Amino acid sequence: MELRQIRYFLKAKELLNFTEAANSLFISQSTLSQQIKQLEIELDVLLFNRIGKRIALTEAGEMFAEHAVQSLNKANDGFLAMKDLNNLKTGKIIIGVTYGIRSFLTPALIEFSKKYPDIQVQVIFGISDELFEKLNQLELDFVLSFRESMDEEHFNYTYLFSSPMTFVTSDKSLIEGKETITLEEIAKMPLALPAKGFSTTKFINKIFTTSKLSPKISIEINDIQILLDIVKTGNWHTVLAQTTVSDVKELHAVPIAGESMTRSAMIISLKDVYEKKAVKVFCDILQKINSKES
């Protein structure tokens, strides 16, 4: 039994005339006759009484039609659901975001949701390592994160923008007013840094190591919001991408002197995975917003 036969049967039932049904389906009458006969043989019932040149539905035919029409409708529903998905009329995207990029996400989120209100967007904030693990487990559609290299073969990397790494300090501290600061100067300050899973921390460790300096780390913490509160006290400082604190008014970001003191924000996704149309559209919006801001 195939949907084709069901389609033929239901049309014949509707028109109660094999020739008309065949014409309506753009097939020959003999095809329709044969396919319905096959269905009858398979079901071991007669679906139609053939009376002279006319047809009448049998009890079996009536009974079968109830199920047949539902089967066909469900299949059509499936087809239409795929259409909706492709037309951005339904679906869901799941985005992993690191802290420093949240302010760039918001405008894209607003624009996307306004344009495609039927698409559900789930945003998961997290530290880089966790987010990439979720990406590998197909739990995320993409990750927004800072990255220094595009070194994982199975990932797609799409550049968004660069943000300078800055020395972040409180407005209360004495360091306000400096136009730039060196790593040597930072190495003498009490620092509160993100915990080990943060890509920012990896970056910080790398630049200090490269410069043969040791930072004076007083605090390591895995919550950026609390980290910022600690810096607000004026007793500790930190090093973060400028975008991380661009909207925090009690904090001051001082550019760090030296080369390679910028980090690139990227859209990172899995290569082998089918790119949902909604994901593609969202990323396009992200890039559009980024090019506008630069």
Partner DNA sequence: TTTCTAAATCGGTTTTATCGATTGATTTAA
Partner DNA sequence: TTAAATCAATCGATAAAACCGATTTAGAAA
Asked if 46 touches its own copies (CB under 8 A), the answer is yes
Interacting positions 98-127 with DNA (CB under 7 A): none
Task: Choose from DNA, its own copies, none: what does 274 bind? Cβ within 5-8 Å by kind.
Answer: its own copies
The reply to whether 55 sits near DNA by the rule CB under 7 A is yes
Size of the site for its own copies (CB under 8 A): 43
Should residue 177 be labelled a site residue for its own copies when binding is judged by CB under 8 A?
Answer: no
Cβ proximity to its own copies, 99 vs 142, nearer residue = 142
Tell me how far, at minimum, the Cβ of 42 lies from DNA, in Å.
Answer: 10
Interacting residues with DNA between 226 and 245 (CB under 7 A) = none
The residue among 34 and 180 lying less far from DNA, judged by its C-beta, is 34
**Binding of DNA at residue 274 (CB under 7 A)?**
no
Q: What x/- string results for residues 72 through 111 when contact with its own copies is judged by CB under 8 A?
A: x-xx-xxx-xxx-xx---xxx-------------------
Q: Is 274 buried (19+), middle (13-18) or exposed (0-12) by CB count in 10 A?
A: exposed
What does the binding site for DNA look like in residue numbers (CB under 7 A)?
2, 4, 17-19, 26-31, 33-38, 48, 50-55
